[in-house]
Structure 1
Amino acid sequence: MINRRHIRVKVMQSVYAMQQSHNSDIIREEKFLKHSILKMFDLYVLNFQLIIEVQKLAAKKMALSKKKILATQEDLKPNTKFIDNKIINLIAESISVESYVELNRLDHWQEDDEYVKIIFDELQKSDLYKNYLNTVEDSPKVDKAFVIDFFKEIIAPNEKLADYFEDKMISWVDDIPFVNTWVVKTLSKCKPNKTFNLGSLYKDEDDEAFVSNLFKKTILKHKTYEEDITAKTPNWETDRIADIDMILIKMAISEFLNFPSIPVRVTINEYIEIAKDYSTSKSSYFINGVLDKISKEFLKDKRIVKIGRGLL
């Protein structure tokens, strides 16, 4: 499921897009923001579907080999460990996966089956695959370990596949690392004696509401927040502050003032970490300093009201 940090990243991207395009249609941009998050689930499911399609291709090639005129003993009695993999078969039999694929018409691997072949070819050449086929132990534990390594070592790092995903939807370029981690976590929790079910996109209704609330409150109050920032950066002209830094600080202020259940320190730490990935090398230090000053003044003036452990 999507976590709060990635929600913040998606909101940051939408605020930045509005700012750069000088677009004032907040309703349209909010719809696009929610759509881009929903499409993350497509990417999540496509990875599981790809694993299934690779296994299907292996079974198809095995069946064709048996029909060769000069079939070898290996062709006639192939190693079926991969096509018998209990975890992959569990995913393939999942009504949850099948329903989502049909409902959302995820026919990518039928239309672009060359990527299935690319992944299968790379898998066949790997030591991972050879070692797995030669493993004597036949257990769900071995099968699960193989599928996780297959994804981590073959699928996730494949540059052609990454380029393909990016071409399909530009926002996926930033979602891929998060979704890859999500897939691995899901596979790790998979149990052979239980039905495979896709995870939820959001942890709960609060997280889903957090998307819209953070986005709208940041956009609607950005001028006011800019004044707060200017007051705390007297030696900096507004246009000298990096666009992303300014957006992240405004989002943090929005959290200070509008989300009483999120501790101040949690907010500051989250935006420092996002800055490390999306802004300049010195941005995290700058953002930390500005937010520290602003939060202390807001607390003093009682503009920040937190509940529970919010002030800790």
Structure 2
Amino acid sequence: MLSRRGLRIKTMQVLYMSMQLGSNNTTVAVKQLDASIYNAFRALLYNLYFLTQLAERVEAEANRKRNKYLPTEEDLKFSTVFTRNYIIEFLNKDPYFQQKLRKEKLMTLLDEEIVNVIYGQLKQADWYINYISKEEHTQQEQFAVIQNCLHKFLFLNEYFDQHMEDIIPTWNDDEFIVVDLIVEVLKAIPYSSTDKPDLFEFKISDEEKTFSNQLLIKTMLEDKRFDKMVEAKLENWELDRISMIDRILMKMAITEFIHLSTIPVKVTINEYLDISKIYSTPKSKEFINGVLDKIMTELRSSGEIIKTGRGLVE
């Protein structure tokens, strides 16, 4: 379920950790990569759980208003339409999701005070107010409000961000991956089907595992050689002056050029340029592109880039 970009980012993070520690132990690195991927899935699960807890606050407030000694008309009309969203209902009832929450002990990480604060902010959001002003919504509208709740609200909320950092130390590294991954999970949630697919059996395929492991191991094993290749293409720069992230991204790209024969060169370059925009400096994209273009040209001339498969023969 994790995208190739997500796997590249996870691999980059493990390589960064290994370089900082001065370690070239590939066995340890592979275990760290597996653990890092696992932590991203835990972060995703918790994000969805937090969403259900916001909906629970809606229901709790509605009950308090209805159970007043003398409830007003406004109290009795308090909207609970958010709690009836098909995604919220699925998460609350899905046995696989609930089982995963218990197994990972994610419920114990919840900070009730943080939920209450964020719920108070949610009620003031224009898109939320517009949504609860109607009792009936299409599937598209229900999906959109959950997407807004995550992407326009929770992921931009300083209280939520700090909370995630407190309970999941790798959150800063995982956030960009979770943002993409969570959309795929939401899209897979059935609207009206009685089927209960297990959407939370988070495992990467054998093909993706081979890809990430090979990318990690080959980059580590050829670290010094790739450093020399990069250094040879620098103009008026010394290797030590390049940021560690930029060096890692370029070496990972070289690994894909040489060792991952089914990935087009252009795809490789574009992926690492995009990752550099997230994790490196504003000027890194242009710098990395220039160096990789020179290295790619040299490797093609020497016959080291061999791509296989339909449309990939270089």
TM-score in terms of structure 1 length: 0.89
Is the deviation greater in 139-148 or in 90-99?
139-148
Aligned match of 1:198? 199
Q: What amino acid sits opposite 2:211 in the alignment?
A: F
Does residue 173 in structure 1 map to residue 158 in structure 2? no
Query: 1 CA distance for matches of 2:125 and 2:235?
Result: 58
Does residue 14 in structure 1 map to residue 14 in structure 2? yes
Deviation at 1:298, TM superposition (A): 1.8
Q: What amino acid sits opposite 2:271 in the alignment?
A: E
Aligned match of 2:136? 137
Label 1:65 to 1:180 Cα distance change in 2 as closer, same or farther (>3 A).
same
Aligned match of 1:245? 246
Label 1:146 to 1:196 Cα distance change in 2 as closer, same or farther (>3 A).
farther
Aligned match of 1:157? 156
Query: 1 CA distance for matches of 2:151 and 2:246?
Result: 33
How many positions carry a matched residue from both structures? 311
Checking the alignment, whether the CA contact within 8 Å between 1:214 and 1:255 is kept in structure 2 is: yes
TM-score in terms of structure 2 length: 0.88
Q: What amino acid sits opposite 1:90 in the alignment?
A: F
Query: 2 CA distance for matches of 1:93 and 1:198?
Result: 13
Label 1:75 to 1:263 Cα distance change in 2 as closer, same or farther (>3 A).
same
Checking the alignment, whether the CA contact within 8 Å between 2:24 and 2:221 is kept in structure 1 is: no
Deviation at 1:42, TM superposition (A): 1.1
Deviation at 1:41, TM superposition (A): 0.8
Query: 2 CA distance for matches of 1:68 and 1:18?
Result: 59
Deviation at 1:143, TM superposition (A): 2.8
Checking the alignment, whether the CA contact within 8 Å between 2:229 and 2:295 is kept in structure 1 is: yes
CA RMSD in angstroms comes to 2.4
User: What pairs up with 1:1-312 in 2 under 5 angstroms?
Assistant: 1-76=1-76, 78-108=78-108, 111-194=110-193, 195=196, 197-198=198-199, 201=202, 204-233=205-234, 235-308=236-309, 309-311=311-313
Deviation at 1:128, TM superposition (A): 2.5
Deviation at 1:161, TM superposition (A): 0.6
Label 1:298 to 1:205 Cα distance change in 2 as closer, same or farther (>3 A).
same
Report the 3-state secondary structure (helix = DSSP H, G, I; strand = E; otherwise coil) of the residue aligned with 1:125.
Answer: coil
Identity %: 33
Checking the alignment, whether the CA contact within 8 Å between 1:148 and 1:188 is kept in structure 2 is: no
Give CA deviations for 1:243-266 in whole Å, capped at 9, x if unaligned.
222222211111112111111222
Checking the alignment, whether the CA contact within 8 Å between 2:82 and 2:132 is kept in structure 1 is: yes
Q: What amino acid sits opposite 1:295 in the alignment?
A: M
